[in-house]
Amino acid sequence: MTLVPVTYKGGIFQHDIVVDLIEDLGGYVVQKHLIAQEVVLQCFVPREDIELIREISRPLFGEVTDSPLVGTEIAVVSMSLEIHHLPHPSCDIAEYVRRLGAKSNMVSLARGPGKRIAGLNDEERDVINEHDLAVFLLGNFETCIEYKMPTLRRGIEVPIVLCGGPAIDILKKITDPPLDGYVGNVGRFMRRTKEADQLDKLDEIVAEVTRVLEKKREEIAKDPLSVSPARLMGLIREKVPAILDVTSPTPLTVQMAGLRVKLPYDSFAADLRKIEIEDGITLGDVADVVPSRMRDYILVRILPFSETNTVV
């Protein structure tokens, strides 16, 4: 059974039928948003059952669309929190990838701007490394990007998609070793992205992010995870009731190979490790439960099959 990421949009009336159906089919609802009279479900469903969901949700005016970014956490790295970079383009891009199902976090660097003075500290590096992918939003000058990129990428282990003012071939030329993805002609700008050509640019960024993540998915598939992150999410929700009291929009953030649990590490890490998944196998057996650099959250890193020799 292959689970594929999709988004369900429909009316709030009887939407629990769809939620139950997805769960009965063996799928997982990763995020649920109730917006006025509308409900948006970001979920993983079996590929062969998408038509069935469409069929059953038709009388409810539900709509099922592909969302390649569901179940990923993306860091949008902006050079600072000043008016120069926010709200455009950083927020525009962060919001756009969110529409396709990703959970995007903005990471603003303390000393990001400038050429010689730009830098990345250890906390920023670790926070970025906790994501599935980092989108670096740089400025308009190739001289500056060429000079500062080696400093900014130091220690970053997750795939990087670089956005900058110069054309894509120049960006490729000035970064060595090559990065995972590039989007040219998106540097610093001070206007809202609402014209067709600007939206096309955002689509291009999303396409590039999707491409890089697909590549990462393929890598993971070569040595599959011991347990699916979405399954762990369901289990934690069931076994650790404290998560239901967390007011954060996504108390459990699903990543491609892990999970961010927004509970204090000191009080809940031991409980998490003890959760039994199946036949006496606990969460601690198949995943590393480590403190996150983001607040006092917990990060669950699921180990691959090659390390645990179990798949549950």
Partner 1 sequence: MFAVEYFEVECPEPLGAEYYKQIANDVLLDHNLLKVVNKIHIFIDPKIPVFVAVGILKRITSVIRVRDFANINPQEGKMTLVISDETYLASTLKIFWERFGKEKVEQPDRFTIILYGVQTPPAEIEEIVVADPSESLHKDLIYALRCIAPEGFRLRSEIFTTEKFIFVASENTLAEDMDSLVKAKFAMMGEVPP
Residue with tokens 């670790």: 126
Q: Smaller CB distance to partner 1: residue 47 or 191?
A: 191
Position 144 contacts partner 1 (CB under 8 A) = yes
Distance separating alpha carbons of residues 35 and 52, to the nearest angstrom: 25
Which residue type is seen at 110? A
Position 269 contacts partner 1 (CB under 8 A) = no
State in angstroms the smallest separation of the CB of 153 from partner 1: 18
Position 108 contacts partner 1 (CB under 8 A) = no
Structure tokens at 14: 């009887």
Position 89 contacts partner 1 (CB under 8 A) = no
Q: Smaller CB distance to partner 1: residue 204 or 285?
A: 204
Distance separating alpha carbons of residues 229 and 213, to the nearest angstrom: 16
Q: How many residues bind partner 1 (CB under 8 A)?
A: 26
State in angstroms the smallest separation of the CB of 134 from partner 1: 20
State in angstroms the smallest separation of the CB of 173 from partner 1: 14
State in angstroms the smallest separation of the CB of 165 from partner 1: 5
Residue with tokens 């120069």: 84
In DSSP terms, 289 is beta-bridged to 300
Position 35 contacts partner 1 (CB under 8 A) = no
Position 194 contacts partner 1 (CB under 8 A) = no
Cβ atoms of residues 32 and 101 within 8 Å? no
Where does the chain have alpha helices with state H? 15-24, 50-57, 90-99, 122-129, 142-152, 168-174, 196-222, 229-239, 265-274, 283-286, 305-308
Position 119 contacts partner 1 (CB under 8 A) = no
Displacement of CA 198 from its chain's centroid (Å):
23
Choose the stretch contacting partner 1; rule: CB under 8 A; options: 42-50, 139-147, 243-251, 297-305. Answer: 139-147
Site residues for partner 1 per CB under 8 A: 79-80, 82-85, 113-118, 139-144, 165-167, 187-191
